[in-house]
Amino acid sequence: MRNWIFLFIIVIFALLQTSILDCIDIFNVKPDLLLIAVIYASLSFEFKYALSLSIFAGVLKDVLAVNTFGINTLLFPLVSLLLIKLSREISLDNNFIYMVSTFIITLLGDIITRIIFLFLGNYILWGIFLRTAILESLYTALVLPLVFKVIKPVLYSSRAL
């Protein structure tokens, strides 16, 4: 039951990210709720389900975004695999560690995406790229604890159903 509820949460996050979050962006940057969902799934669910959730979230983000299709479908499972492996080596147990790892993951994802765009012929000015990448990473990291506080009660209170 908890697995299906989280799948529904991912769909809600995708819809929020493409609609309501456009109203609360800062310098045309908004938090990546789907990446936060992938991070939560990687830390909370078993390996196969976390990986399938990350693929689903990547496909949703690619379908609903105007970026080149397939980048997030490849990056989200990689993030999930790396987080699962990292969580086995290091204890990821407090919000500060979650926030720092989210900042790094988002920044690296933006850098990889921009490099792919560069090879595809979409050139972005260096200053705009840095501002966008750093602000998006910071914004996503700061929103992460709030989203975790919303997800946990929804998942675990419905488990008794």
Which residues constitute the domain of residue 126? 2-160
CATH number for 121: 1.10.1760
| pTM (two decimals) | 0.88
C-alpha 31: how far from its chain's center?
8
- When divided into structural domains, the chain yields a total of 1
Q: Output the tens digit of pLDDT for each of the chain's 161 residues.
A: 677 889 999 999 999 988 888 777 777 788 889 999 999 999 889 999 999 999 999 999 888 877 667 888 999 999 999 999 888 887 777 888 889 989 999 999 888 888 888 888 877 788 888 888 899 999 999 999 999 998 888 877 744 44
C-alpha 43: how far from its chain's center?
13
Can you name the residues that pair with 29 across neighbouring β-strands? 26
Which residue type occupies 47? F
Task: Give the containing element (helix H, strand E) for 141.
Answer: helix 126-157
3-state class of 68 per DSSP? coil
* Closest CA relative to residue 55, chosen from 82, 81, 76: 76
Task: Give percent helix, percent strand, percent coil of the chain, each to the nearest 5.
Answer: 80, 0, 20
Instruction: For tokens 């690619």, name the residue.
Output: 62
How is residue 29 annotated by DSSP?
A: B
What per-residue confidence (pLDDT) applies to 38?
94
Instruction: For tokens 């919000």, name the residue.
Output: 95
Can you name the residues that pair with 26 across neighbouring β-strands? 29
* Closest CA relative to residue 117, chosen from 55, 70, 60, 59: 70
Measured CA to CA, the distance from residue 56 to residue 58 in angstroms comes to: 5
